[in-house]
Amino acid sequence: MIEIRFHGRGGQGTVVASKALADALMIEGKWVQTFPEYGVERRGAPVVSFTRIDDKRIYLRCKIYQPDHVVVMDPTLMEVIDVTAGLKSGGWVIINSGKDPSFFEVPDKFRVRTFDATSVAVKYGLGSKAAPIVNMPMLAAFSKITGFVGLKALLEAVREESPIKKEENVQAAKEAFEKA
């Protein structure tokens, strides 16, 4: 079983990203389970979302305390919360940022990558320039870097989960997948 934790801020589509990842993996024949941190979501506040993946039915029903990988939708969260809390050694930390991975102080036992999902989101008009919705390009980058999901299933899931601007989201995800 693989467990992934998503960190973002309310309004960035973090929960939808974890759901889209689950969709894509289901298309590829996996068992999946995805859920937000149970509570009250507010725009701008840090939010957490989880996805579990397995080859067999998932019976486990609790939060994820020791994820295999983490995705960080907003680089400013790196200073606010410990995104690597409980992260397993060797796990990916994939951060939405145009900066070099070395800019972020992440312990050596984790693998760090950055991807500038914000500029992709802005390019395709996802959200506003002040508050771009980075979830789909970020998910695409994650899929490419980890190799968990193929492009075909990913795009199908992105189309399914984008409430508006489906085509723009698909194009953004495609570009992010190629670039990452």
Q: Which residues bind other proteins (CB under 8 A)?
A: 19, 22-23, 26, 31-36, 38-40, 58-63, 65
Q: How far is the CB of 11 from other proteins (least distance, A)?
A: 18
CB crowding 93-129: b at 16 or more within 10 Å, else e: bbbbbeeeeeebebeeebebbbbbbbbbbbebebbee
Give CA angle at 130 (114, 143), nearest 5°.
30
Whichever of 61 and 129 has its CB closer to other proteins, that residue is 61
Whichever of 42 and 109 has its CB closer to other proteins, that residue is 42
Q: How far is the CB of 116 from other proteins (least distance, A)?
A: 28
CB atoms within 10 A of CB 57: 7
Whichever of 31 and 104 has its CB closer to other proteins, that residue is 31
Q: How far is the CB of 161 from other proteins (least distance, A)?
A: 9
